[in-house]
Structure 1
Amino acid sequence: MGRPVLFAAALLQLLLAGTGTGTAVTRLRVTANFECRATADSTLSRPRCRRPARPGPPLEPPALWLGQTRLCLPGQRCQPCLRVRLALPAAELRGIRGLQLSFLELGSNRAGWLQVWQRQHREPSSSTWQVQFDCFPAENGRQVLVSLRTIPDRGLVLSRSHLVATEQPGPVFTHTWIPGVRAIEVQVPEGPALMVRLCYQLALECEELPRPFHRQVLVPGGHHVSLPYEFLVPCLCIEASYPHHDSLRSKHCPFQDQPAAYGPELWSSVRFHDYSTSSKDQMAMVLSASCPLHPRATLCWREMAAKTASCHDVPNSTASEEDQAYTLDKVDVHPQLCFRFSYRNSSHVECPHRPETAWNVSVSVRGLQLHLHLTSSVPAAFSAALCQRRGGQCEPEAPLYTVTRPEGSAPGELALLLPVEVLGSCVLVWRSDVRFARKQLLCPDVSRRHFGLLGLALALGLVVTVLLLNCRSTCRPADGAPGGRPVLLLYSPDSEEHLGLVCALAERLRAGLGCDVRLDLWEAGGVGRAGALPWLYAQRGRVGRQRGTVLLLWSRGSTRLFRRWRVGTTDGTPGDAHDVFGAAMACLHGELGAAGRGGGWVLAYFSRLCSPRDVPRPLRPLPTYRLPRQLPGLLGALRGSPPAPRRYCRGTAGRLLHRLLQAGTGEDSPPPQPLGAAAGT
């Protein structure tokens, strides 16, 4: 009993050879003329099941045919094994889900089984099931019994036996590699002529090279022949046999340990089939290789589309592999987000073959914001963040802005508005609903056309900074408070200039005073998901609970929109609008009607864009501030206390503040007409 156990252990070690780094386990092969999957017991490695590339002559059913071949694994001695072919009529296999082959080697009593299952439960396209298994390892001189039955058992049983013949030594030859002419010279010693050829060694067979490199030459004894090859790969072998039929064959694979065989030529011999799809957020590629190749695949991203550009590795992004099919889910499929295939000491980068992307983004400067235009053909969420270039890198900085195209919505344009904090600001945009996404860097040119508006933003920021430095008691939070109170900032989107001033003021309140500013431009994703009215009432409730302030920034365009809102219903009762401004008017109308005054509401307007006469009469009871002249009073109102006495803001700083106010806002100049006024004015 000791010898069979030792043989089984040695056989298992043989079949699992090559499990070290960079080398795949050699798996036996099942070919069938239908979609199949195969399982086996522990004496056989898990076999591959696929359709034959070049089907051989079919057997007449019912038939169970046994033949002897050789199992040659890399780095191991070849050994005999039993090839099985079977044919069964499809008409007799109705309701049959699979087949089972059982093996028994007499003398050692070593047994094993193989099951072949139909992958899809439907009628085969052929009139017969044709299956071939390569192969069951056996010892020289042993008798092997093979039996076939169906799953489930329908009483069909076929049995055959085969005596494994003892192999004789094969032909002898020598070779010389000539890399300069990309050929191998084969020398045949004195004696009988040999048939020689080059081939690619797979698990069991040595397959011919593609044309025009497929050559099988009869070489007389004492002569030599030069055989050209296409690619220098590890499985390139030389095979020789005698001219008569069923001759013994000798084979030598000299490049399995050659470093040159694992370089660029190895990857040139592989065909990559791209099945990546944006609709499923999946990267998928299938390899067709001349050699049994199972590399490791991870993600990397290229800064440029050029093939020579470096590809930066993405951490924790190893793809799963089955039958040389590599897949990775939750990926934003992009032509510059690629697979890096690594095998032994070499690697290759293969990018998706489709140049189009599921989404695109462009940026423009509107007033004092970066306006991101997003178009997406798939439901997705997008995030954006401002960044500053430092040492060739641009890391995103808080806050983060998000917008979502929900499932089931029609394709269209999404928009995000970001404040321009300083000249030279860049923005990073990426898909935030997947695990792996490439961040797209956009750096708009804001140095010329929008210099005046940016100067206005900088002036306003400098005004707030001077106020903070010279009127600290006005801007400082109350004792014991962790920071500035929350501010819900509402406005009407009636002109680019007004939007610019709104964003500039909001950013200074957030960055300069530490206020928790709630602005729909910064929470476009939340507004889109909840709707304008629910989002506004939720924010109003939070600000009220935290004793914050609702700051309503007014303009001439606001007056026109307010009038349209007032006459929105035929019965004279204002209706709830679907935009944030209309929702704000509905909310304020309810609070004024219930309490007789708008507690927690503050109204402010920029004197350049509005006058006191433009404030509607129902809103005049609200505390109102003219900007920028009454900016200190507004800051005090947001703090929840009166502003500091004016004497703290006098002197040189006070005069500088006055000049900045005039130069920054052009208060003494006639107000320009708003750009892009609301429709219907």
Structure 2
Amino acid sequence: MGRPVPRALLLAAAAALLAAAGAVTRLRVSANFECRASADSTLSRPHCRRAARAGPPLEPPALVLSTALLCRRPQPCQPCLRVRLALPAAGLGGVRGLQLDFLELDSNRAGWLQVWRRRGARGGVPWRVRFDCFPAQSGRRVLVSLRTIPDRGLALSRSHLVATEPPGPVFTHAWVPEARAIEVSVPRGPALMVRLCHQLALECEELPRPFHQQVLVPGGRCVLLPYEFLVPCLCIEASYPHRDSLRSKRCPFQEQPAAYGPELWSSVRFHDYSASSKDQMAMGLSGRCPLRPHAALCWREAAAGAAPCHDIPNSTASEEEQAYVLDKVDVHPQLCFRFSYGNSSHVECPHRPETAWEVSLSAQGLRLRLRLASSVPAAFSAALCQPHGGQCQPQGPVYTVTRAEGSTAGELALLLPPAPVLGGCVLVWRSDVRFARKRLLCPDVSRRRFGLPALALALVLAVAVLLRSRCSAGRPAAGEGRGARGGRGGRPPGRPSAAPPSPAGAGGRRPVLLVYSPDSEAHAGLARALAELLRAALGCDVRLDLWESGGVGRLGGLPWLYAQRARVGRERGTVLLLWSRGSARLWRGAGAPGAAHDVFGAAMACLRGELGAAGGAGRPGGWVLAYFSRLCGPRDVPRPLRPLPTYRLPRELPRLLGALRGPRRAPRCLRARGLLRRLLEAGGGKGAGEEPPPGRPGFGPAAGT
């Protein structure tokens, strides 16, 4: 290995090399093509990366050697040999790699490095490679040879002396925080050129304007140099005025806690790349200093920058080349990255203010309707909850709706049962990702747009329950049947005057299958409201497709309808056909009822079959028809259906309830149709029978008439 070099000479050489050529923190190969590198045990395996340029341009063929300083903590810095080469593209066809051979003379220490062009890398361009760097002892000469793989007869050799030099310029400094500056003092003697710079991996880069000044300070004088940000890589560099002078550098803030505070994050620029993916959060950073912080998700309570951000467990982002990526995230303006470095942290939120999906809550009948608009394929879940102590924990089942991949963009609808009380809320979240924040939607009963219909429907339900309880108290005991009476509260026209006792459904209740036409949201809302009323007032076992969407989706509209019709027939129940002008249009449409493309179409096909089977004998049993007077009139009922028992609502609501209950007389308390009508009309207003204008929720028809 040769004679040891005195420590003073090593320190002097280290200072000179650090100032003249910059420090190297790791062995690295830079090339103008996609590359990989291998080396012998003396060098280990250097990291190979593609760089736009590897230093100042060289005219090929060229092999240039220079001295640098290799500083890898905790080992002390040592001199090393930097290699830059350029080879022409012509005459090197079929060359896949290069080999550099190093030989330190006197000590005979040798090593080699191979740089390979990766498969698929673009050919036909000059080879430009930079290697940082081969460790060598100060004062030794190193011989470097270059050849191609496979050998094409091209060989270059150069030697370089890693010389020892005297110490660089001497100066002192002091930090002046109140002036945001550093005071540099030059001792008596020659003048020095001083400047502030940012120490990067290999070079000390000058500060941006207007902090980039380089000042000539006479001996025995001092100068105040302002800085932009107090950061760990802020350094002071001094040199003599003549060209190629030795340089001295100090970086006094690497161990200063104040350099790791808010100013460090102010010096960093964040780049949001999340908009390029539907479920990936990605953010890059570039700063004055080379940083590799830790990044994880947190949820900010409000959009304000001073709001607290709560950490989310197990949400660490992966990092590569200053880019931080986390998959399976529902990107939201308040779902942010917390970057931590040293003794400080910084929260950076997505830069786009909008989200990939929006949701709104409305009342439809006695149910809640969620409208979801998503610009990306996703799955959404919702659950009812009751606010308490600042929290709202989900209660009961979770409802889910999905927009499949490749489907056209549009609104998704999700129907929920009514909130437990008027103060109940709904939690909505995206359920096809790992990290998503639940959004809380609470009905606002103070606004007419939502509060009046919901309050009216809630009152209808309360009054109906009260009526049911009072009627139950006035009913005769078992076995004390009442004879049917005529009048408005008697049996509907055409019904038999007496019927044998019929088997009851579950709990002694007759089943009612409610069928309606899906011609408008208003009509569907009325169907739901009527079903809720029948169930609450009479305790009817109401079967409605909107309440059994899972069964309909699993079996299909036609099988589900026929199964329900068969059950109603076995238990002597009733099929209640809720009619409207839209129903009449569907009936008259070419083949619509017989096509059985939905539950209403299947019901019409079933009814036509029973009408055909009855022939001239009358009407099919177990069917009744009802309509709301504001939605249609008697003439809208097709001629083949007019033999069915028909009821006009809300005027003949008690008669309808009596027909559904059975041949016994309807309870007197159910004749309070005026109160029911007023409550229903209070929710719908004057326009209850009209379609809602485009873009406006149709609350009126759902709660009116």
Where on the TM-score scale, by shorter chain, does this alignment land: which range? 0.7 to 0.9
Matched residue, 1:122: 122
Instruction: Give secondary structure in 1 for the equivalent of 2:275.
Output: coil
Contact 1:195 1:216 in 2 (8 A): yes
Which stretch of structure 1 is more off in the superposition, 340-349 or 431-440? 431-440
Q: How does 1:167-186 map to 2 (within 5 A)?
A: 168-186=166-184
Instruction: Give secondary structure in 2 for the equivalent of 1:454.
Output: helix
Contact 1:428 1:439 in 2 (8 A): yes
2:388 to 387, 390, 402: 390
- 1:501–1:180 CA distance, 2 compared to 1 (3 A): same
Q: CA RMSD of the aligned region, Å?
A: 5.3
Matched residue, 1:576: 595
Matched residue, 1:431: 430
Instruction: Return the offset for 1:257.
Output: 1.4
Amino acid aligned to 1:663: L
Contact 2:169 2:247 in 1 (8 A): yes
Contact 1:278 1:358 in 2 (8 A): no
* 1:675 corresponds to 2:690: yes
- 1:419–1:241 CA distance, 2 compared to 1 (3 A): same
* 1:91 corresponds to 2:90: yes
Q: Deviations over 1:579-609 (max 9, x none)?
A: 553355457767998999x999987868788
Instruction: Return the offset for 1:566.
Output: 3.9
Matched residue, 2:299: 301
Q: How does 1:184-583 map to 2 (within 5 A)?
A: 184-421=182-419, 422-447=421-446, 448-462=448-462, 491-494=516-519, 498-503=523-528, 519-520=545-546, 535-537=556-558, 554-557=577-580, 560-569=581-590, 574-576=593-595, 578-583=597-602
- 1:223–1:417 CA distance, 2 compared to 1 (3 A): same
Instruction: Return the offset for 1:89.
Output: 1.3
Amino acid aligned to 1:188: V
Aligned length: 627
- 1:210–1:40 CA distance, 2 compared to 1 (3 A): farther
Q: Deviations over 1:512-541 (max 9, x none)?
A: 9999987548859x99xx7xx974357569
Runs (5+) with no aligned partner, structure 2: 4-23, 476-502, 695-705
Instruction: Return the offset for 1:191.
Output: 3.4
Q: Deviations over 1:211-267 (max 9, x none)?
A: 222233333333222221111111111223344444443322111111111111111
Amino acid aligned to 2:438: K
Contact 1:96 1:152 in 2 (8 A): yes
Instruction: Return the offset for 1:427.
Output: 3.5
Structure 1: distance between partners of 2:536 and 2:96: 69
Structure 2: distance between partners of 1:402 and 1:206: 57
* 1:663 corresponds to 2:663: no
Instruction: Return the offset for 1:204.
Output: 2.8
Amino acid aligned to 1:555: L
Q: Deviations over 1:121-146 (max 9, x none)?
A: 3356xx53322233333343455454
Instruction: Return the offset for 1:87.
Output: 0.6
Structure 2: distance between partners of 1:91 and 1:615: 90
Q: Deviations over 1:258-300 (max 9, x none)?
A: 1111111111111112222254432222211221201112223
Instruction: Return the offset for 1:161.
Output: 4.2
Q: How does 1:649-660 map to 2 (within 5 A)?
A: none
Contact 2:557 2:597 in 1 (8 A): no
Structure 2: distance between partners of 1:47 and 1:91: 28
Instruction: Give secondary structure in 1 for the equivalent of 2:122.
Output: coil
Instruction: Return the offset for 1:461.
Output: 3.5
Structure 2: distance between partners of 1:369 and 1:523: 14
Which stretch of structure 1 is more off in the superposition, 409-418 or 317-326? 409-418
TM-score (norm 1): 0.73
Structure 1: distance between partners of 2:91 and 2:541: 80
Larger Rg: 2
Matched residue, 1:131: 129
Instruction: Give secondary structure in 2 for the equivalent of 1:293.
Output: coil
- 1:584–1:159 CA distance, 2 compared to 1 (3 A): farther
Instruction: Give secondary structure in 1 for the equivalent of 2:188.
Output: coil
- 1:665–1:62 CA distance, 2 compared to 1 (3 A): same
Contact 1:340 1:350 in 2 (8 A): yes
Amino acid aligned to 1:113: L
Which stretch of structure 1 is more off in the superposition, 200-209 or 291-300? 200-209
Instruction: Return the offset for 1:38.
Output: 4.4
Q: Deviations over 1:644-678 (max 9, x none)?
A: x99xx99xxx96x876x763455999999733299
Amino acid aligned to 1:554: L
Instruction: Give secondary structure in 2 for the equivalent of 1:663.
Output: helix
Instruction: Give secondary structure in 2 for the equivalent of 1:233.
Output: coil
Contact 2:460 2:680 in 1 (8 A): no
Instruction: Return the offset for 1:354.
Output: 3.0
Contact 2:360 2:370 in 1 (8 A): yes
Matched residue, 1:19: none
Which stretch of structure 1 is more off in the superposition, 230-239 or 580-589? 580-589
Amino acid aligned to 2:266: S
Runs (5+) with no aligned partner, structure 1: 4-24, 637-641
